[in-house]
A and B are shown apart, each in its own frame.
Chain A
Amino acid sequence: MTSSAASSLPRVAVLGAGHVGPVIARLAIDAGYRVSIAASDDPENIALITQVLVPGAEPRWAADAIENSDLVVLSIPLHKFAAFDPALVAGKLVVDTMNYWPPIDGVREMFEDPAYGSSEIVARRLADSTIVKTLNHLGYHELDDDRRRAGSPDRRALGVAGDDPAAVTVVADFIERIGYDPVRLGSLRAGRLLEPGGPVFGVALRRTEFESALRSEAA
């Protein structure tokens, strides 16, 4: 990856250094993005994790990482989301990779309304940000293994859902570059199809299979 290509790509800030965050960060580094990573506290706490698991990424305070980024990947547990300060990401494009899983998160009142998907609720709270939902429906352990070059016959598809078409394009390009086939869903509301219990959650599907799984569910 040349530095000119890297400088034309959006700068990525990954929030969360747990199961998922470092894997997404590493994939982004491999794809040539400039990446910073943050947890909830002092970057010193994640310095070693970053050095060993995501060489090339920069551990930062969350606020610094966000400020110097064009794309914020939110990979924190939803039960921590209520305490997340929306002002931090105001004006930013936020990729929501989070799931509401009562068996993991406990029952969170905020996400219990069956009329809305978790990303719609996230978007309502992060009202000054643009939200795109993706990367939530495959396991952190599959993220590394399942990526493939464009054109590979077994390339896995990932849904990308959002209300802002330009933002969806940026994120779809990100998904493409890290090794997956992006399948665009026209709204954040449609992103409910990507949730736990939905037709594509935790299943490895190629683009055509993915699209038909979505169609048959939506029908």
Chain B
Amino acid sequence: MTTAPLNTPADSAGEPAPFPLEFGIDTFGDRTSDDSGRQTTHAQTIRDGVEQGVLADQVGEDFIGIGEHHTDDFPLSAADVVLAAIAARTTRIHLGSAVTVLSSDDPVRVFQRYSTLNAVSGGRAEVILGRGSSIDSFPLFGYDLADYEDLFEEKTNLFAELLKGGPVTWQGKTRASLHDQDVVPHTESGPFPTWIGVGGSPQSVIRAAHYGFSLMLAIIGGSPTRFAPFSQLFQQALERFDRSPLPVGVHSPGHVAATDERARDEFWPHYLETIRRFSKIRGFAVPTRESFAAEVGPHGALYVGSPETVAQKIAANLTTLGANRFDLKYGMPGLAQSALMTNVELYGTQVIPRVRELLA
């Protein structure tokens, strides 16, 4: 269980408190295929996602997160609705966003939706807030990308106020002011765990510490070890703001199958295809077999392989990064639902126990 205490004074500065190890899975609602390779409909992709979440609970995973996207490849735009469906069929697993693009949402509504999810699930909701590196929500909801820093800063501030519970008085430029406003539903037992997803901006690390949110490092390319200073920065900033230590998590993409070879063969074509499309938009080079091999290797950011390979890499990086939570972003548009279910199952039944063993 993670908690996001707000305004709790640090009892003793220094060593980060040891938090229990936790293992989650994240999806961006990647469009699935059936076993003959045919792309499924948006609706089927969503139902497939519910099944993945139910299985994740059955095999002992601690968390499932759904990342907000609004494209044909990633049609799972209403994460909280899907999470509520998973909640109704599970009892243990925590449910959250990964991430909520807060910059283009209304913090009051986000609070209401996840507080409702928290009620429905008996206290299992979490929120991971993001500034929005996936930017499809900005034009959709009428925001200017150039404002993303200001939007995120203000809305994070309001969200932190809402989480405290009790009437909120707040003023800003990005939405209507609130005066002594009671926002419902109230949570039963304090704020639900809230994280800030950070992709490489140290200023976001400071922001997380400032508001007393946990830190989720989104490491999607390059060497994970370069994020170790961010973890230190977070601990020091928490001390600076007189806060207790808070959990640090890692979110990275990957794919688990019975063997290394099978995992790579299944993942690579869909990874290539997806990155190729992003490359076109952002102007960078498409990955090659060589660059892919580097990312999959011990110094890269992708966790693609057999349960043993993936477990070794997770264990090594959790240690290096001083993190206690690992969320595997599984799936890629076009991967078959059966491969995703196998991935979810192997992660729960083999990878997680093996990482626990390695870190014991």
Contacts and interface: CB of A to CB of B under 8 A. Distances in A.
Our verdict on whether A and B bind, yes or no, reads: yes
Contacts of B291: 204
Contact of B283 (A17, A52, A195): A195
A124 interface: no
A215 interface: no
Given A17-B202, A48-B236, A201 B284 contact: yes
Interface residues of A, number: 34
B356 to A, nearest CB: 29
B236 A19 contact: no
Given A49-B233, A103-B135, A141-B226, A19 B145 contact: no
A197 interface: yes
A106 B203 contact: no
B283 A108 contact: no
Contacts of A46: 203
B86 interface: no
B360 interface: no
Contact of A105 (B145, B200, B201): B145
Interface string B259-287: 00000000000000000000101111100
Contact of B281 (A45, A103, A195): A103
B206 interface: yes
Interface string A95-123: 00000010111101000000000000000
A165 interface: no
B221 A145 contact: no
Contact of B146 (A48, A108, A141, A145): A108
A195 B283 CA distance: 8
B223 A48 contact: no
Interface residues of B, number: 29
B109 interface: no
A35 B94 CA distance: 45
A145 B200 CA distance: 14
A56 interface: no
Contacts of B232: 52
A197 B229 contact: no
A49 B236 CA distance: 10
A203 interface: yes
B222 A79 contact: no
Interface in A169-202: 195-198, 201-202
Contacts of A108: 146
29 contacts: A17-B202, A19-B199, A19-B200, A46-B203, A48-B206, A48-B236, A48-B240, A49-B202, A49-B203, A49-B206, A51-B236, A52-B232, A53-B202, A53-B229, A77-B146, A104-B282, A106-B145, A108-B146, A139-B221, A140-B200, A141-B223, A141-B226, A145-B226, A196-B283, A196-B284, A201-B285, A202-B283, A203-B284, A204-B291
Interface of A: 17-19, 22, 39, 45-46, 48-49, 51-53, 77, 79, 101, 103-106, 108, 139-142, 144-145, 195-198, 201-204
Given A48-B237, A103-B145, 17 more contacts: A17-B202, A46-B203, A48-B236, A49-B202, A49-B203, A49-B205, A49-B233, A51-B236, A52-B233, A79-B146, A104-B145, A105-B145, A105-B146, A139-B221, A141-B200, A195-B283, A202-B284
